[in-house]
Chain A
């Protein structure tokens, strides 16, 4: 179980794995995630499912090497096994025909956004994807995003590719140009916070997919808790997607530093 059938580098620190997990491949929907653990002393970490292949019985995960655990997983190769993969976890994205949907993703967050883009497009929405990265080499999955979007806007911090600026600049451009019915945002917490503040100004309903610290991922411990609309919610079972305008992003940003 959980054999890595392919490994591809998106950039130096971002790796795409296709992993054997037939039961998860079959039951997962857009928005779901898995918990993975590598090695006997490994930590359980959450990763969103970026795609699945029913015939091959595989799921695709994209992981960025940022800490000890993600580096350990990124170092695995084709043919290796991931000790534990459990899922699909969380609530699936609520997909329906909204009209025009802007999907705003940053960095490695574009990978988990891809299945949502696909599902939104399939449901008959006009999908405009704004994908952002620090620099040209870190823009991932542009082709796949383009295949499923009516329009793609690429933003880079340094202007080395696409347009110069942050994801919010790209989103605002769209808002000023046409009517937007829904915004979906996935990326670093600070990015989601500013996308949320922007769309709040324009009164556009917005969903954010939150990436908090997790342990079990099944609602057992509350490590992932966030305040949404004044109430404590567990990201792993109530989320990971929430109404972005109700999320206390400052508290979430603070809690992400618990083990720094």
Chain B
């Protein structure tokens, strides 16, 4: 059955046809889009571990689900990198079959509770919804509904495992346990493979654990989804660095017939400006790893973290928003975003920017740091900002920030978090002999199969894309799994 036939077959199930006819499209279209309940901004800006978005109630979810028109050609699915059967799971919510909806999600996504929270749906599935495409209305809240179904299943205690094919005895290895690796592992284990995931850190989950904070993605939720994979038979080995602890050759000799490299882009970029090595200036990876992975703001943790009073976060991506909101929560009186372009060009999700503003984060857009100064002990105490204006569009199509001559300003800070992007970690590329690498350090793969020029090595996620999103990484994992399966069963 082709994908299209499968979509149609499920759409023509009797219950679904009946449900479609039960309400007129006009009636469905008149329902306003649901609002996600959230914690009060003043309260939440002082609590590190409570999630900001509270999730939909069953009534809210069912009402929102009625908005979905169950299109013949669901364009929303084109916007989803892992091809979730969107109308099918939404219509299950509309009829009140929430566990069934969760099952549908798990056909294609290893981490629905994660994706429902952190995907930029406004740029993906929801951007392709017929409401926004044709009707100039707000799109169906696909992300909220996905989250609802996954949370409902988890909280019900009736977590189902997807169907798993009979074991084919073929061993495959995954390097890295972030979203790309987990997605790949989920698909391969379903196909009957013997899957082992190797992780360098002491916890499984990659950026989901060390990067994205609790107030956006609780670790417990990530852990439950990982546990699901474990129950399906995926083996996880932590504290094992492929390329250091064991080599590519070790994996081959160990009988692994295919290797999926999903080691991510963990290397933080710095700006190389004066004063960047002062105490109190750190990468967002360091700051977030200390707080999220090491729980450093908790007094019981042995890992320390500086709790700045005047904190500047340099950058405008989601990581910058995570860092600045974290700084505020652990006690900053003044927490600032310093970004060299205007708000319009910010790569962060609109929702994150909105949440940050509500929490009292200051936005210094069209500002760029050019130096830091410290006190006698080498602790950062102020930063010099260059004011910018927007010039002509550059190669990326965004208007280029240009310095306004002579317009500079000193601002007092006692902590600076540099969040200006990441580069691929060179560890794997440098230890897999013969692997073709771009000048940016990313692994070269065939875009359709994710296969590298080493026949048994596939790669996906940030090690191929540079810094991108969780869902694109997961999409790569799915693609690689499909292609590797095809190559191995030949």
Contact = CB atoms under 8 A, between A and B. Distances in A.
Interface stretch (B15-23, B71-79, B129-137, B301-309): B301-309
A220 B298 CA distance: 22
Q: Is the interface of A mostly helix, strand, loop or mixed?
A: mixed
Interface in A207-227: 215-216, 218-223, 225-227
Contacts of A84: 202, 238-239
B451 to A, nearest CB: 26
A135 to B, nearest CB: 30
A160 B36 CA distance: 73
A257 interface: yes
A232 interface: yes
Given A27-B247, A254-B377, A220 B266 contact: yes
B270 A222 contact: yes
- Listed residue (A222, A225, A254) with the most chain B CB atoms within 10 angstroms of its CB: A222
Interface in A221-238: 221-223, 225-227, 232, 237
B200 interface: yes
Contact of B245 (A27, A41, A42, A83): A27
Given A24-B245, A27-B247, A37-B202, A219 B279 contact: no
B294 A218 contact: no
Contacts of A251: 277, 378
Contacts of B301: 41, 43
Contact of A87 (B245, B285, B302, B304): B245
A86 B276 contact: no
Contact of B295 (A41, A85, A225): A41
B47 interface: no
B279 to A, nearest CB: 5
A56 interface: no
B265 to A, nearest CB: 10
A87 B303 contact: no
Contacts of B300: 41
Interface in B245-297: 245-247, 266-268, 270, 272, 276-277, 279-280, 282-283, 285-286, 289-290, 294-295
Nearest to A88: B244
Interface residues of B, number: 40
Interface string A31-70: 0000001010111100000000000000000000000110
Contact of A232 (B277, B289, B304, B427): B277
A214 to B, nearest CB: 10
B239 A27 contact: no
A72 interface: yes
B240 interface: yes
Contacts of B294: 43-44, 215
A23 interface: yes
B302 A69 contact: yes
> Which residue, B270, B280, B303, has most C-beta atoms of chain A within 10 A?
B303
Nearest to B203: A84
Contact of A23 (B245, B266, B279, B377): B245
Interface in A7-41: 23-24, 27, 37, 39, 41
B241 A218 contact: yes
A145 interface: no
A42 B302 contact: yes
B60 interface: no
Contacts of A237: 426-427
A232 B270 contact: yes
B286 A221 contact: yes
Nearest to B423: A219
A23 B245 CA distance: 6
A43 B294 CA distance: 7
A3 interface: no
A255 interface: yes
Contacts of A69: 302
A192 B295 CA distance: 33
A86 B199 CA distance: 10
A19 B207 CA distance: 30
A215 B239 contact: no
B376 to A, nearest CB: 10
A86 B241 contact: yes
Contacts of A88: 244-245
A196 B116 CA distance: 55
Interface string B411-434: 000000000000001110000000
A173 interface: no
A83 B294 CA distance: 14
B201 interface: yes
Contacts of A222: 268, 270, 282-283, 285-286
A113 interface: no
A254 B282 contact: no
Nearest to A67: B302
Contacts of B295: 41
A219 B244 contact: no
Contact of A86 (B245, B285, B426): B245
A219 B377 contact: no
Given A86-B202, A218-B425, A221-B289, A255 B268 contact: no
Query: Most B CB atoms within 10 A — which of A27, A72, A86, A237?
Result: A86
B191 to A, nearest CB: 29
Given A44-B303, A87-B244, A259-B304, A219 B425 contact: yes
Interface of A: 23-24, 27, 37, 39, 41-44, 68-69, 72, 83-89, 215-216, 218-223, 225-227, 232, 237, 251, 254-255, 257-259
For the complex of A and B, list the 7 residue pairs with the smallest distance between their C-beta atoms, beginning with the closest.
A221-B286, A254-B378, A43-B302, A220-B266, A86-B239, A84-B202, A43-B303
6 contacts: A86-B201, A215-B289, A215-B294, A218-B200, A222-B285, A258-B280
